[in-house]
Amino acid sequence: MPIRETPALTYHGCGLTRDLPDSFTIGGMITVVGGGFAGVECVWALAEAGIDVTLYEMRPVRSTEAHQTDLLSELVCSNSFKSQDPDTPAGLLKTEMKALGSLVIPTGEKHSVPGGSALAVDRNLYAQEITARIENHLHITLIREEFTPEQAEAILNRGETLVIATGPLTSSPLGAWLATQTESEHLYFYDAVAPTVDASTIDYEIVFAQSRYDKGGGDDYLNCPFNKEEYEAFITALLAADRVPLKEFEDPKYFEGCKPIEEIASKGRDSLRFGNFKPVGLRDPRTDRRPWAVLQLRPENREKTLYSLVACQTRMKWGVQKEVLQMIPGLQNAEFVRLGVMHRNTYVESPRVVTSFLEFKNRPGLFIAGQITGVEGYVESAAMGIYVGQQLVRRARELPMVEPPRHCAYGSLISHLQDPTEREFAPMNINWGLLPDPPENPKKKDERRALKLAAARSAFSAWVDELLGAPVG
Ligand SMILES: Cc1cc2nc3c(=O)[nH]c(=O)nc-3n(C[C@H](O)[C@H](O)[C@H](O)COP(=O)(O)OP(=O)(O)OC[C@H]3O[C@@H](n4cnc5c(N)ncnc54)[C@H](O)[C@@H]3O)c2cc1C
């Protein structure tokens, strides 16, 4: 293990300034692959702690299907980092990231453009500054080449640390190698995600709990019962809704196993009623009859604060998708924490494969960060980069890694990545449903959310002190 001496450093978090001693012990070599949102945050956390780190980025030698430039942390689509209101889950996460020493969020704030309550950024100025700060950092070596499976094996066989942060468009050879590390069925190359709702916004006067023929847990599923008129109106809206076209690089054959509901409905108005929405084995307690059709909801987490719409994959455009889905009985006021998407996306089934520190259970030294872990979005991906970086700083100092408490935004994301509930594991943004319900659980949404935020803040402040504040040297 190489030992290095480093000069005195100052750690600048959000409102936190920590002076580090003149020198401390540094562990084995660390390599991070992917100069996207997660990769830059991960190397920044390490480098700011005085730890040498190598970052591989394949652009511009080789590009992805979505990136346009050779800049690090490039925004491939929208220029929004979502809400910066600290009283929203997205704002809460940003506050936590800044306290952990984020590079992405303060740089985004510096180059913000008007975006209402959202943090919208000038994508070029933002990415140029990130690139310059990484390129010029004393402790970061940036290598512009495609990282290969052979390099990964060599690093791990030397007992060094490797962080894969290659994102949704991971290059094919590395993706194939990663699949061999996960027993392949635990790595996905495409997303066909059904929409998910916040459980507290479901109308329980209409929706009833029952498993088909009362099998299994009896009330594992919630059922949204359609009568004939409701079903017909839903099908009409579904068939009229605009759909997202497949991108050139998205091969339709991957989606054959999970046809979108609008495509099924286009084969005949009753096809959903005889297929994905069949009402057999179910009885609506309000009418004591079998409904005309039923859409089932399945819990997405242990606490049952989130439910996904079973077999409801869709390519409807997001605006109209919400309107159509709110025509489902019981979901008229539902808040969708995730809308349906079907797109190219490389991600690991984290609950089966990695520890709560995002290290492979069966390959010590191999970590993942970013969207590949099963979070979704620029900010959440960056958050996972800082997380791995800060945990590796602790490991380098021979301190135990520390798990985030369940109640804060970090704890909620890690809980999503660790929750063993049987489900179709899919990437998720931070949202109200991921933050656990308070024990009092008041009926009023605003009161419930205020308690969630208070619990998150107090839990986070204890954790951040432990994570960053332990004595070093
Ligand atoms: C088409 C598309 C549109 C999107 N739109 C949005 C949006 O509007 N808003 C939003 O929040 N999120 C959006 N996302 C998701 C967003 O891109 C990701 O959440 C975020 O970029 C993930 O960060 P990351 O660091 O995990 O991966 P990335 O930011 O993608 O970074 C990964 C990096 O790894 C590099 N790389 C890949 N393979 C190798 C290799 N073998 N060797 C070296 N380097 C490699 C890539 O070039 C890339 O720079 C979109 C994704 C796609 C694909």
**Centre of ligand 1 from the C-alpha of residue 437, in Å:** 32
Bridge partners, residue 367, by sequence: 163, 359
Check if 152 has its Cβ closer than 6 Å to any atom of ligand 1: no
Nearest one of 342, 363, 58 to 183, comparing CA atoms: 363
Check if 171 has its Cβ closer than 6 Å to any atom of ligand 1: yes
Nearest CA to ligand 1 atom 30: 167
Nearest one of 197, 442, 218, 429 to 328, comparing CA atoms: 197
How many distinct helices (H) and strands (E) make up the chain? 13, 18
d(CA 35, CA 290): 54
Question: What was the pLDDT predicted at 251?
Answer: 63
Q: Give average pLDDT by consecutive 10-residue segment, the chain, 473 residues.
A: 29 35 55 98 98 98 93 94 96 98 98 90 96 98 98 97 97 94 80 88 96 72 96 97 80 65 93 94 94 94 91 91 97 94 89 97 97 97 98 96 98 97 89 94 92 97 89 44
For 392-422, letters b (16+ CB in 10 Å) and e give bbbbbbeeebbbbbbbbbbbbbbbbbbbeee
Please give the torsion angle defined by the CA atoms of residues 16, 22, 25 and 30, in that order, rounded to the nearest 10 degrees: 60
Bridge partners, residue 188, by sequence: 347
Check if the beta carbon of residue 119 is closer than 8 Å to that of residue 80.
yes
Atom of ligand 1 nearest to the CA of 81: 11
Check if the beta carbon of residue 293 is closer than 8 Å to that of residue 277.
yes
- What is the layout of strands, in order, in the sheet containing 161-164? 140-143, 53-56, 30-33, 161-164, 366-368
Token pair belonging to 460: 């986070």
User: In Å, how far are 54, 114, 129, 170, 440 from 136, measured between CA atoms?
Assistant: 13, 29, 11, 26, 50
Atom of ligand 1 nearest to the CA of 40: 25
d(CA 162, CA 368): 8
Please give the torsion angle defined by the CA atoms of residues 446, 106, 429 and 265, in that order, rounded to the nearest 10 degrees: 100
Check if 66 has its Cβ closer than 6 Å to any atom of ligand 1: yes
Classify residue 62 by its DSSP letter: S
Ligand 1 binding pocket mutation candidate from 43, 169, 247 (most atoms within 8 A of CB): 169
Query: CATH fold of 196-339, please?
Result: Elongation Factor Tu (Ef-tu); domain 3 (2.40.30)
Classify residue 212 by its DSSP letter: G
Give SS3 for 453: helix
Please compute Rg for the chain using Cα positions.
Answer: 23
Nearest one of 52, 56, 9 to 27, comparing CA atoms: 52
The three-state DSSP-derived secondary structure of 422-452 is CCCCCCECCCHHHCCCCCCCCCCHHHHHHHH
Instruction: Give Cβ neighbours of residue 418 (< 8 Å, ≥ 6 apart).
Output: 350, 351, 356
Q: Which helix (H) or strand (E) holds 113?
A: strand 112-113
d(CA 4, CA 57): 26
Could you tell me whether strands 336-338 and 196-198 are parallel, antiparallel, or unpaired per DSSP bridges? antiparallel
Classify residue 303 by its DSSP letter: T
Q: In which residue ranges of the chain is CATH 2.40.30.260 found?
A: 196-339
Check if 373 has its Cβ closer than 6 Å to any atom of ligand 1: no
Check if the beta carbon of residue 302 is closer than 8 Å to that of residue 419.
yes
Check if the beta carbon of residue 179 is closer than 8 Å to that of residue 93.
no
Ligand 1 binding pocket mutation candidate from 41, 56, 62, 77 (most atoms within 8 A of CB): 77
- Owner of token pair 């489902």: 328
Give SS3 for 121: strand
- Main-chain dihedrals φ then ψ at residue 210, nearest 5 degrees: -170, 140
The total of other beta-carbon atoms located within 10 Å of residue 42's CB is 31
Nearest one of 388, 355, 356, 359 to 43, comparing CA atoms: 388
**Centre of ligand 1 from the C-alpha of residue 210, in Å:** 40
Atom of ligand 1 nearest to the CA of 34: 34
Atom of ligand 1 nearest to the CA of 429: 11
Could you tell me whether strands 366-368 and 222-226 are parallel, antiparallel, or unpaired per DSSP bridges? unpaired
CATH class of the 10-192+343-469 domain in this structure: alpha beta
Check if 377 has its Cβ closer than 6 Å to any atom of ligand 1: yes
d(CA 256, CA 158): 42
Question: What was the pLDDT predicted at 404?
Answer: 98
